[in-house]
Amino acid sequence: MSTELESTRRALRDAVAQAERAAELARLLDAAEAKLAAAEQSAAEARSLAERLSEAEERLEAEQAAADKLRRELAEQRFQAEVANWKLSSIKVARWNRLGDAIKSGKSNPVRLAKGLRGAAKPVKRPVAPKRKPPTAAKAKDERPGAAFQATSTTRTLGGASFKLKPFRVPTGPNTRPHLTAAVIADPHAEALLRYEWRQTTGFTPRDFARVLPLEVPHLLVVESVEHGPWAEEITGEPGEGLKALLAWCAERGIRTVFWHTRGDVAAYAAAAELFEHRFTTDLTVAWPRLQFGVQPRVHNPLPLSGGRIDRVLTLDQLLPGHLTYPDVLTSYRWPAAVDCPPGTPQWRLAELAACGTPIGTEADTRRAHVALRRAYQMGTMTERIDELLDAIGLPSARATLNTSVLLPIMDPYLMEHALAQVAKQSGVDQLIVIGPPESELRARDVLPDVEIVYRRPHPAMTEGAMLDAGIDLCEADLVAVMDPRDVYGPHYLSDLRRAFLFSTADIVGKAAFYAHLRKPQATLLKQPEAEYTYLPEIAGATLLARRNTLREIGFADLTDGWDEVLMRQCRTDGIKVFSADRFGYVRVRDEDRWLLGAAHLVEYGSAEPHALI
């Protein structure tokens, strides 16, 4: 009897425990559904705001076009009025008109008549005919990089069908080296590559450089081997007098001069190039120092068009018809599902396409596109090329860096080896802040011999958020990454994530789109694949990479679970921009997670690493 009673009691205890677990799971599910509904509402509001913004931009463009038309009509009316006044003045001073006036006024007075005729016979200067003037601009010219460098062609034609695009907005900054000013003579493509690397002066001619350049005396002059424009004749064949005067003006002021050969027969520019202090070329057959084209992260990046991509693979000729300006080219790069490029396509063109996240080939393969994007940046950005240029000519190349400190809180000693191995894979780590068991300090120094290790032993009752908050004051690099000991990070994780700081204006970068693996069901999930390369209210805390000063100002909540949600909520309150990067390079690993099961797509039953770690 006692055995049956004990069995009943045990069954009741198990039933109560299962009921408690079920109630807790139901509560978590309700909370997850509430969060998902809130996220969907936020996404809908964001889409609505984006549509309203687009409509407002279209209305503004229409109003600006109408205003431009009115200004043109007003300028024409003013010109016609000036012409009428000129004609009237011309008639008044005409000799026949003055003779008529003299005869009329002196017909009854011979003396006055004679005097009037003598006066009428004298030559009189005729008024100068008016000239047409361009309409007055509505506002002062915006001197920020890219302000006057926006796309204008909003339609494309394929097979007789017309497609309306929402142009890629060329950013107006920031400058990589705001302390440096360069006078640049280049075509629109090279201008797009250089305009964000320094304060840039362009548009001066052989006739007006002596008036334009003193307004902001440059530190260096860069002249590309242009084939069109007012300087083309000055630099080809025998150097022109305008070029000689410009170089003499620079020499008087100690301004470095650089000639950059990017196209054409180098012999055509040889005489002019000899007048410069420094010469560079993109041509491997020319015995000058190399200065190759590199991708410019401000404009060659995977930020999508607001209308998304079309579901078509285009040839390069279909993608880039000859009439497009370079800002319109930047829009076209982001438009197709993929681009089939013929053999012989210039390497810089392939790099620019890849840097915009566009698959190159006959299929829209996002994995290959991500690898190609990474490779395009690894080949060198324009910022790195300008570092080389400045070092070669003796000017300081100082600029902000992407040095990184990693915060690694280890609450479970059994995860220590795994966690340190994930950090050891990464490149560009300057400092590791380890907060965990005592043995983790020596082990970290063994695993990461070239990285500065700072160790702190946590108090037994410290939460993960408290550990992170204690570690942030120890960080010295410009960027701070938080890594979770439970998760898996690929070798390109940090380098891919840092790249977002080159083209976004966010203070915090991470992943809202990512792969996850649940051990118990052996399920691989993909969360929010549509959340790549966009500004969002929230990213996963285990993928956080932020500017150090921003994290110091916000701080971390004293929580183990949910510290990242509190931090993201504070970002929304303070207006701090958060950017979600790509889905690759990271796997969230848990035994089970009902919230993920309800908020992510099932990829397959099996390992997540082949999908995520590329």
Taking the mean position of all CA atoms in its chain, how far away is CA 222?
A: 23
DSSP state letter for 376:
H
Looking at the DSSP assignment, which residues form a beta bridge with residue 256?
Answer: 220
Alpha-carbon gap, residue 614 to 607, rounded angstroms: 14
Parallel/antiparallel/unpaired status of strands 199-201 and 220-224: unpaired
Closest CA to 599 of 588, 608, 586: 588
Looking at residue 11, its pLDDT comes to 72
Looking at residue 594, its pLDDT comes to 79
Alpha-carbon gap, residue 26 to 313, rounded angstroms: 46
Mean pLDDT for 518-546 is 94
Alpha-carbon gap, residue 158 to 176, rounded angstroms: 38
Alpha-carbon gap, residue 164 to 310, rounded angstroms: 11
Looking at the DSSP assignment, which residues form a beta bridge with residue 600?
Answer: 527
pLDDT digits (tens, 9 = 90+) for 284-309: 999 999 999 999 999 999 999 988 89
Q: Which residue has the higher pLDDT, 478 or 28?
A: 478
Residues 6+ apart with CB under 8 A from 424: 447, 448
Are the C-beta atoms of 508 and 539 separated by less than 8 Å?
Answer: yes
Taking the mean position of all CA atoms in its chain, how far away is CA 39?
A: 26
Looking at the predicted structure, is the pLDDT value of residue 1 above 60? no
Alpha-carbon gap, residue 241 to 461, rounded angstroms: 78
**Whole-prediction pTM value?**
0.76
pLDDT digits (tens, 9 = 90+) for 87-139: 777 776 666 666 676 676 666 677 666 766 666 666 766 677 767 666 655 44
* Residue 267 three-state SS: helix
pLDDT digits (tens, 9 = 90+) for 211-261: 999 999 999 999 999 999 999 999 999 999 999 999 999 999 999 999 999
Token pair listed for 462: 């410290």
Q: At residue 612, what are phi and psi to the nearest 5 degrees?
A: -95, -40
Alpha-carbon gap, residue 582 to 533, rounded angstroms: 6
Return the C-alpha torsion angle 365, 378, 509, 578, nearest 10: -70
Mean pLDDT for 525-530 is 93
Taking the mean position of all CA atoms in its chain, how far away is CA 352?
A: 13
Q: Provide, rounded to the nearest whole percent, the portion of the chain with pLDDT above 70.
A: 84
Alpha-carbon gap, residue 92 to 86, rounded angstroms: 10
- Lowest mean pLDDT: which of 145-154, 494-503, 596-605? 145-154
User: Domains, the chain, ranges and CATH?
Assistant: 94-121 (no CATH), 163-281 (3.40.50.2300), 404-612 (3.90.550.10)
Looking at residue 86, its pLDDT comes to 65
In the block, which residue shows the tokens 């324009």?
382
Helix axes 563-574 and 464-472, enclosed angle (nearest 10): 50
Residues 6+ apart with CB under 8 A from 155: 162, 163, 164, 165
Looking at residue 333, its pLDDT comes to 96
Closest CA to 360 of 304, 315, 302, 414: 315
State the number of CA atoms in the 13 A half-sphere of 436 facing the CB.
25
Looking at residue 69, its pLDDT comes to 78
DSSP state letter for 360:
B
Parallel/antiparallel/unpaired status of strands 578-580 and 508-510: parallel
Q: Is 293 exposed, middle or buried (0-12, 13-18, 19+ CB in 10 A)?
A: buried
Mean pLDDT for 42-56 is 69
Alpha-carbon gap, residue 350 to 356, rounded angstroms: 10
Looking at the predicted structure, is the pLDDT value of residue 140 above 50? no
- Lowest mean pLDDT: which of 131-145, 326-340, 398-412? 131-145
What is the 3-class SS of 271-283, one letter each residue?
A: HHHCCCCEEEECC
